[in-house]
Amino acid sequence: MKNAVSPSNDEIKAAMLKYDFALQILETQLKILIKEYETKYQYHPVEHIKSRIKTIDSAIAKLQKKGYEVNLYNLEHHVHDIIGIRIVCSFLSDTYKIVEMLENSSFIKIIEKKDYISHPKPSGYTSYHLIVKIPVCLVSGIEEVEAEIQIRTIAMDFWASLDHKIQYKFSNDIPTEIKKELYNCAVDIKKLDQKMLILNDIVNRYYK
């Protein structure tokens, strides 16, 4: 196994620097793509963007939860969401516009796609997940750094936020009654997204 000796905090902090750089680059690239799309189509598909970098403790905890030894190699190869970006859109159709935009980018390399919008998780969770790689120019050369991008509607984001808060309150499994109600809410939110999409289409017909 590589890096059998556990790294010091200073070594981990130094290794995490590239994730700071990659996040800055990715945020800039997203702004460019979205601005270009807005100019070309006279339409802004994004409500807001949130970003974060996992803390060292959080990254290590995820690695340990997966059953891997704590070392730099495993952090880099088995924790794919040290960088997290969430793109929140108004309408369901916008989520796929963003996915297509990223797929057409020659700068952002997509290495994994998970469409939880078409295929929700058993809990009812819906979102579109992409694992991507971003080139970062370091003194030692160009290095590709992974990031996770989540794309969802405002309604999906509302549900996911509440789900996260509820899960945080329970150290063990969430009671069945609460799981059922959360799932029912997810179904209602999916219907709401569909209704808002239809309403947007009607508005666009009048606008045209």
- What are the residue numbers of the active site? 148
- Structure token digits, residue 182: 């959360």
Instruction: State the first-to-last Cα distance of the chain, in angstroms, to the nearest integer.
Output: 62
Give the span between the Cα atoms of 172 and 166, in whole angstroms.
11
The residue type of 92 is L
Contacts of 39 (CB under 8 A, 6+ apart): none
- Structure token digits, residue 179: 């799981």
Q: Are 30 and 138 in contact (CB under 8 A)?
A: no
